[in-house]
């Protein structure tokens, strides 16, 4: 159910359509979106319908002199919009400058993703669930975890996320330290920031998630932390609560968790997963370590070992250059396609 309205006012019809199309098809953005290229029609509309978020080209804005009755409208006075719009974003043609105390300035000719991130992170009030109206029943959480080092855990997580995203909206979350393609999503915010916002103001999760989420090739992802302590010192219960809150709010069909040993206790994260894929190595030391770990988690929750599926991955050695592309061309890709037949 859409519970908010985004309006885009731009005389460039092609630009307005491309920006609105990007907003409209982003997962979790459950606003109605309307576009206008005619100033008169736009002004008539907002006098009848309140707008939650307005993006307006700066070239349309004129001075604040009173309009002459019956004279054709060729520009809009910024002050006249205050009563009809909650948050106003001016699409600037140059470097951002503080034109108003009640409007935000965003550079127009950057990626639509960066514009969306800025808008969602700048809202004056958080509309919580009205941004994301998901259903936890339909969102499946799969975990990938192994107590064995260098088992291919992250590579498996990424390929599963990308394959699932080809047919269904998928979010990838890694509880490990970031690198390269998984470190940033076109902005500087990471899982560290999302954890901070969530602990300080849980009701802001929806808008903060929309402002931080980046894209791999097909799947969405939350950029990884840059400092191990941001995960190791976090409350394990808070980590799992963050995941289940995203599950409740989002419209993703799948959430893939790449679970490292950084959390002080991995059990809370494992409990929220429907299935846990555990890459294993076949040497005696690795098998012994895996057995000891399963005994440990069984002592915590007897149902946890039943969620585990031990798998032996094909040998992979993807290049550090174009990490995602190389994974898609590796033997792991075909292996995961077969694995997905058992998942879905």
Residue where the block lists tokens 């339909």: 138
CATH class as words, domain 140-343: alpha beta
For residue 285, what is the enclosing H or E element?
helix 284-300
| Chain segment 40-98, per-residue pLDDT in tens | 999 999 999 999 999 999 888 864 433 333 344 445 677 778 889 988 999 988 755 54
The pTM of this model reads 0.70
Residues 6 or more apart whose Cβ sits within 8 Å of residue 292: none
Cα(first)–Cα(last) distance of the chain, in Å? Answer: 26
Do 5-125 and 140-343 fold alike per CATH? Answer: yes
Q: Is the dihedral of CA 157, 162, 166, 168 positive or negative?
A: positive
| 240-343-290 Cα angle (round to 5) | 60
Homologous superfamily in CATH for domain 5-125: Ntrc-like two-domain protein. (3.40.50.10850)
Extents of the domains making up the chain = 5-125, 140-343
- Give tens-digit pLDDT for 167-217: 888 999 999 987 655 655 455 789 999 999 899 888 778 778 887 888 888
């Amino acid at each position: 159910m859409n519970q908010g309205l985004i309006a885009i006012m731009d005389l460039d019809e092609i630009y307005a359509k491309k920006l609105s199309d990007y907003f409209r098809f982003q997962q979790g953005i459950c606003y109605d979106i309307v576009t206008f290229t005619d100033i008169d029609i736009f002004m008539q509309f907002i006098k009848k319908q309140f707008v939650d978020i307005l993006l307006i080209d700066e070239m349309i804005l004129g001075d604040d002199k009173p309009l002459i009755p019956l004279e054709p409208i060729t520009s809009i006075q910024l002050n006249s919009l205050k009563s009809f719009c909650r948050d106003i974003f001016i699409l600037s043609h140059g470097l951002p400058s503080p034109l108003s105390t009640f409007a935000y300035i965003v550079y127009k000719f950057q990626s639509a993703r960066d514009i969306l991130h800025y808008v969602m992170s700048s809202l004056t009030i958080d509309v919580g669930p009205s941004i994301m109206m998901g259903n936890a029943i339909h969102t499946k959480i799969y975990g990938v975890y192994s107590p064995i080092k260098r088992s291919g855990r992250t590579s498996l997580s990424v390929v599963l996320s990308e394959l699932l995203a080809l047919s269904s909206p998928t979010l990838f979350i890694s509880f490990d330290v970031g690198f390269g393609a998984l470190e940033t999503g076109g902005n500087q915010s990471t899982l560290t920031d999302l954890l901070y916002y969530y602990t300080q103001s849980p009701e802001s999760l929806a808008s903060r998630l929309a402002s931080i989420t980046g894209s791999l090739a097909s799947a969405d992802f939350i950029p990884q932390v840059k400092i191990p302590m941001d995960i190791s010192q976090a409350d394990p219960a808070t980590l799992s609560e963050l995941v289940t809150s995203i599950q409740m709010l989002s419209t993703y069909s799948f959430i893939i968790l790449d679970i490292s040993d950084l959390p002080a206790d991995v059990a809370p994260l494992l409990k929220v997963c429907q299935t846990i894929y555990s890459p294993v190595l076949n040497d005696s030391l690795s098998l012994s370590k895996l057995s000891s770990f399963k005994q440990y988690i069984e002592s915590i929750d007897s149902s946890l070992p039943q969620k585990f599926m031990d798998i032996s991955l094909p040998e992979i050695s993807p290049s550090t250059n174009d990490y995602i592309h190389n994974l898609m061309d590796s033997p792991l890709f075909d292996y995961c396609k077969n694995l997905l037949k058992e998942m879905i």
